Amino acid sequence: MPLSLPFLAIGPRVSVESARIETRTGWIVAILTLGAWLDHVTVDSREKTVAIRRRRFWLFPSVRIVRFSEIREVAYSLIDHGNYLEGERGFHEIFDIALTLHSDEEVPLVRFSGDGESVSDAPIWGEHLADRLQEASDIRGDQQERSLGFVELLAYRIGVPLGSSRYF
């Protein structure tokens, strides 16, 4: 079982209050982009809205308000950048979370990414033993746990089921 280290993951800062969930661009992304790429998502259970505020390249802000009644499901997807030709997976994981509306439009919300658990599907015995030794010393980020906790809370607060994304 790999050791999970939070600093190996990049994701939004999430704050939860009794009637609100807020996410903001993580510090690492904000610093690396010099503030040119900022997101702020607010889920308000009292107003029954999701407010998505984005700012790109310092000058291009956008705001979108989505009412709970427009949302069919919360889409949750994994993009795994393993080397599938060699039977390996899990080197870099990206978990995308979006809202799927009744109109079939998907509205991206947040992304969690980081180092994933290294898993090999190697059929050869010698490679199998080497893979087990590698897995014993494997480290990974906590993006899977954080994204799953967030998406489950989001679906519960909005009152819709979880689904999978068709586009991410």
Residue 3 lies in a domain: no
CA distance 146 to 143: 5
Residue 168 lies in a domain: no
Res. 67: pLDDT tops 60? yes
Mean pLDDT of the chain: 77
The number of folded domains in the chain is 1
Least confident of 26-35, 67-76, 112-121: 112-121
Residue 2 lies in a domain: no
Res. 14: pLDDT tops 50? yes
101-136 pLDDT per residue, tens: 999 999 998 887 776 555 555 555 555 555 555 555
**What pLDDT score does 157 carry?**
92
pLDDT band (50, 70, 90) for residue 8: very low
Residue 107 lies in a domain: yes
CA distance 7 to 150: 18
Residue 75 lies in a domain: yes
Beta-bridge mates of residue 24: 13, 40
Tell me which residue range forms the domain holding 63: 8-163
